[in-house]
Structure 1
Amino acid sequence: MDLQDQLKKLFPEHTSEETSNESDDHSIWMQDDPILCKYEKRKGKPITILEGYTGANEDFKALAKEIKTTLSVGGSFKDDKIIIQGDYRDKIMQLLKDKGFAVKRVGG
């Protein structure tokens, strides 16, 4: 007996609306201008910076979280920039292109 059956027994008069599992994965706003993917070294450590997204901050934060979990790396979201620890320009650019974004590599 799964959770849905248990809930139906507890609340028989309740009619549940079927929701898809992708309810929290809302669509991210696509833009015409490319996202800039830069490489820098700060305090001797390599980082990858993504900037130039013109949509909502929540969408950019969700994109940052998805990139970090996909690559299993650390990073942060500051000042409308995604900062990823390490040099992952090629992987990030491929991930963004697969999602439909235009990406431009800056520097090197």
Structure 2
Amino acid sequence: MDLHEQLKKLFPDHEPLPEEKLPELPHELHIQQEPMICKYEKRKGKPTTIIEGYSGSEEDFKILAKELKTKLSVGGTFKDNAIIIQGDYRDKIMDVLKMKGFKVKRVGG
């Protein structure tokens, strides 16, 4: 006997309200005028790609980090107002950001 059946026995006259689901709108990211910086570093001997220079809210930057990680199927983190992606994915990241409408500047080798 599940919970709904138990509640029905306790309160036979009660009619549950229909659940209204609001359509989920896609989150709009803040597109800035200044270019974001995409650079390559080695940390503890391993290649990493770092994206900095986003002027929007921190939540938007975290959402962007999650989108990049899922699109590229790589690990990474958001730390100190920078997205740190494991591996050298500068070209792919720059392509994804440009398709979203961001300006990106490549720094380093």
Q: Scaled by the length of structure 1, what TM-score is found?
A: 0.81
What is the DSSP-based 3-state SS (H/G/I as helix, E as strand, rest coil) of the residue aligned with 2:39? strand
Distance in 2 between residues matched to 1:48 and 1:73, nearest whole Å: 11
The letter for the 2-side match of 1:52 is G
Partner residue of 1:85?
86
**1:74 alignment partner AA:** G
Query: CA RMSD for the aligned pairs?
Result: 1.7
SS at match of 1:91: helix
Unmatched tracts of structure 1, length 5 or more: 1-8
Counterpart position of 2:58: 57
Overall identity of the aligned pairs, in % = 63
Q: Which residue of 1 aligns with 2:46?
A: 45
The aligned counterpart of 2:96 is: 95
Secondary structure of the 1:47 match is strand
Following superposition, the deviation at residue 10 of structure 1 comes to: 5.0
Q: Give the Cα–Cα distance (whole angstroms) in 2 for the partners of residues 10 and 97 of structure 1.
A: 48
Structure-2 separation of matches of 1:64 and 1:26: 14
Query: Which consecutive segments of 4 or more residues in structure 1 shift more than 2 A?
Result: 14-18
TM-score, reference length from structure 2 = 0.80
Instruction: Note if 1:69 corresponds to 2:70.
Output: yes
Encode CA deviations 1:2-31: one digit per residue, 9 max, x unaligned.
xxxxxxx953xx584652x4x2x3100010
Report the count of equivalent residues. Answer: 95
For 1:10-29, list aligned pairs within 5 A. 11=17, 14=18, 16=20, 19=23, 21=24, 23=25, 25-29=26-30
**Unaligned ranges ≥5, structure 2:** 1-14
